[in-house]
Amino acid sequence: MAMGRPREFDTDTALDRAMEVFWQKGYEGASLAELTKAMGINPPSLYAAFGNKEALFRKAFDKYAAEKEAFFDELYRQPTARAVAEFYLRGAVTYLTDPKRPKGCLAINNTMACGDSADRIRQELLAKRAIGEARMRERLERAKREGDLPETADAAALTRYLSTVLQGMAVQALGGATREDLTQVAELAMKAWPST
Amino acid sequence: MAMGRPREFDTDTALDRAMEVFWQKGYEGASLAELTKAMGINPPSLYAAFGNKEALFRKAFDKYAAEKEAFFDELYRQPTARAVAEFYLRGAVTYLTDPKRPKGCLAINNTMACGDSADRIRQELLAKRAIGEARMRERLERAKREGDLPETADAAALTRYLSTVLQGMAVQALGGATREDLTQVAELAMKAWPST
DNA sequence: CTGCTTATTTATCTATCACTACAGAAAATC
DNA sequence: GATTTTCTGTAGTGATAGATAAATAAGCAG
């Protein structure tokens, strides 16, 4: 059987370009014209390789999530709740202001207000966020059992607080806040953390 | 001279409907079809009364800002920096989870990632945010002079922290966080506030 | 070289976008 | 009632959205 004509572009670098467009413009604000231009391909190549706009976004997001996998593995290996919280916020500052990448967070950008065409994507991202928050809550509950969080601490509330600060920093980064600005915010935010 | 045919709709209620559509869907995600349907008018009436989509958004935002004017007046009359911060975060929780209104914040929603057509609006909102943050910073600097914030306190960093928590709570509200959830977050956030 | 398969290019498709021309309708003025 | 003015509904405008048909090109198998 024949192999067919080989692809002339690299799907992974094309996907990376698409990811950055979605990151900067949002799912709704990223037009096919802009995507194909950034990816260096024509629409039929995009559709053959990725399906459609929604599928392209999902693959781009999977790539985005995969790039953060190592971070989360290391995050949850931190010895204490305080270390986890600090690692989380410091890491967030780093990622949100990476000079090689668009500012802010692809996931957070696409869970905001949007039209009907983007709402399915939005719901999917919210579901994934809920999974991530559950993981953090479990880690903090473990910390309570291990004694490095007081019995009175509310793991769910602390998790929501960390999420809130992360998301707020993502908004700030989009507004032009620098890495130094957000470092100050993260340090300040840690002052609310319960002492052992 | 003749007065002409009177308008058959109330511009203020129509503007309120438009505001809610922009709030829920974002500037980009709000189509003219959806806007006119929610406002109960046809496109020519919209354009005659408000100009175009951009001008409609600006008027809707002005209305949104006007509704919060009394809150900010009272906010900055609070006697101490701590009282200001508490009033700010408590008020934010109330507004972000008003059962009569869409969740979250119209302003924050429209400063996130967006396409080119919405970017002018985005820049305008960011400029207004900067003005608001400057006002808070000045209030906190006054607090340092009046002695209810320590000399070592960084007014700019504290302002950015408050902004960050507000914006994070807006993201949380869009994700389904309840008023109780956000109240916990606000109370936790206040633990980072410097003691006098 | 001849088939077979798949990718690429060009040129579209339909639906929807923000927006408006036009004609008729509703008031005030004369 | 006739005139003037402004609003309203219908029916569109051109532009762009996401997505594709068709023809061609490029590789492999025989």
- Bases along strand D below 7 A from a protein CB: 3-12, 16-22, 25-30
How close B9 comes to chain A (CA, Å)?
A: 26
The pLDDT mean for chain A works out to 97
Strand D proximity: list residues 53-112 of A with CB under 7 Å.
53-54
Tens digits of residue pLDDT in B126-160: 999 999 999 999 999 999 999 999 999 999 999 99
**In the prediction, which pLDDT does A196 show?**
77
pTM of the full predicted structure? 0.96
Q: What is the largest CA-CA distance in chain B?
A: 68
Tens digits of residue pLDDT in A25-46: 999 999 999 999 999 999 999 9
Q: What CA–CA distance (Å, rounded) separates A168 from A94?
A: 14
Tens digits of residue pLDDT in A142-196: 999 999 999 999 999 999 999 999 999 999 999 999 999 999 999 999 999 999 7
Q: What CA–CA distance (Å, rounded) separates A126 from A133?
A: 10
- A164:B154 CB<8 A: no
Which of B22, B32, B112 would you mutate first to test chain A, the one with the most A CBs within 10 A?
Answer: B112
Strand D contacted by A176 CB (< 7 A) = no
Beta strand segments in chain A, E: none
What one-character DSSP code corresponds to residue A100?
T
Strand D contacted by A43 CB (< 7 A) = yes
- A180 close to A87: Cβ distance less than 8 angstroms: no
A176 contacts in B (CB within 8 Å)? 126
Find residues 5-64 of chain A whose CB sits inside 8 Å of chain B.
23-26, 28-31
Region for B34 from its dihedrals, namely left if φ exceeds 0, alpha if ψ lies in -120 to 50, beta otherwise: alpha
Cα angle at A52 between A37 and A108, to 5 degrees?
80
Strand C contacted by B1 CB (< 7 A) = yes
